[in-house]
Amino acid sequence: MRLTPWLAAAALAALAGCAQIVKVEPGQVTVKEALRLSTTSAWNRFELQFPLSVAPGASEVWTQDGVTLDALAFFVGIAQGETLGRAIGGKKLPQFRSTLTPGEIVELYEQMVTQDGSAFALKRIAPGRFGGQPGFRFEYTITRKSDSVLLKGVAQGAVVKDKLYLAAFTAPSIYYYDRHLPQVEPLLATAEIIAR
C-alpha cells in the first residue's frame, strides 16, 4: 500500500519536471530549525520549485498521496513585514504584523490561496494551541479554480515572539480530507515551537 502514493508523487514530479520528493521518515522532524514534530508515519516532503496554489512559498509541504490530493503546508517564523507565502502572477500579498488578530491572519491565508482565482470560505475559527503556545485554529473550504474541486482544510497557528507559525492541511472534501485527517491531527498535536 505504500507503493501507490509514491507512484503518484513520482508521476507528479515527473510531470512537473522540476520538483523533488524527499521521504520524511517516522520520528522527530524539525522544520526550518524552529518547529519540531514527531511523526509516527512516513510522509513525502515536496521540494517546491514552482508555484503551488494551495501553499506558494511555504517553508515545507508534506503529502501522502500527492500535493493535489493532500497537502500539509508549514509556514514557519514569518516575521514582521513578511508575507505569508509567496505572491504569484504579479499579485500583491499583504504583510504580516505581529499585532494582527487571528481573523486578520486568516485573511493573509485567504489572500495567498486565492491568488489563482480559487474561492475561499471560512467555516469556523476558534482559540486553540499550536506548537505548545496559545494560538488559534480555523477550518475552511477552497474551491480550486483549475478544476472546480472543493477542498476542505484545517489550520493551526500561533504568534510567538512576534513571528507567525502556521500549519495548514488541505485536501479534496471527497475522500482525501477524511482519509488523512486522522494522521494530521495527532501529528500537529506534537508540534513544538523551538525558535530561539
Partner 1 sequence: MQRRPFLLGCGCLAFAAAAGVRADEYDYQAPPRFARPDLGTDEGGLWAFMDREEQRLKRSSFLLRDPALHGYVNGIACRLAGDHCPEMRVYLVRTPYFNASMAPNGMMQVWSGLLVRMQNEAQLAAVLGHEIGHYLQRHSVERLRDAKSRSSFGLIVGMALGVAGGGSLGTLAQMGILASSLAYGRDQEREADRIGIALMARNGYAPAEAGRVWGQLLEEYEGAKAAGEEVSSTNILFASHPPAEERREVLAAAAKRDWPGAARMGADEYRAALAPHRMGFLYDEVRRRRFGESLVLFDRLLKSSPRDGQVQYFKGEVYRLRGSEGDAKLALEAYRASLAMDNTPPEAHRALGTVLRHAGDNDGATRAFQRYLELKPDAEDAELIRSYLTGSAS
CB of 114 to partner 1, least distance (A): 7
Any contact of residue 80 with partner 1 (CB under 8 A)?
no
- Tell me whether residue 124 or residue 196 sits nearer to partner 1 (CB atom): 124
CB of 74 to partner 1, least distance (A): 21
CA angle 68, 153, 46 (to 5 degrees): 40
- Tell me whether residue 36 or residue 145 sits nearer to partner 1 (CB atom): 145
The footprint of partner 1 on this chain (CB under 8 A) covers a number of residues equal to: 32
Is residue 99 a contact partner of residue 158, using CB atoms and an 8 Å limit?
no
Any contact of residue 17 with partner 1 (CB under 8 A)?
no
Any contact of residue 24 with partner 1 (CB under 8 A)?
no
Any contact of residue 122 with partner 1 (CB under 8 A)?
yes
Q: C-alpha grid cell for residue 56?
A: 506558494
Any contact of residue 123 with partner 1 (CB under 8 A)?
yes
Any contact of residue 39 with partner 1 (CB under 8 A)?
no
Any contact of residue 117 with partner 1 (CB under 8 A)?
yes
Residues 6+ apart with CB under 8 A from 158: 129, 130, 131, 133, 134, 135, 136, 164, 165, 193
Q: Whose grid coordinates read 499583504?
A: 94
Is residue 66 a contact partner of residue 180, using CB atoms and an 8 Å limit?
no
Q: C-alpha grid cell for residue 121?
A: 470560505
Helix locations, the chain, DSSP H: 3-16, 102-113, 176-189
Any contact of residue 14 with partner 1 (CB under 8 A)?
no
Among 86, 110, 181, 183, binds partner 1 (CB under 8 A): 110
> What amino acid is encoded at 70 in this protein?
D
Binding site for partner 1 (CB under 8 A): 53, 90-92, 94, 99, 101-104, 107, 110-111, 114, 116-117, 119, 122-127, 134, 136, 143, 145-148, 150, 159
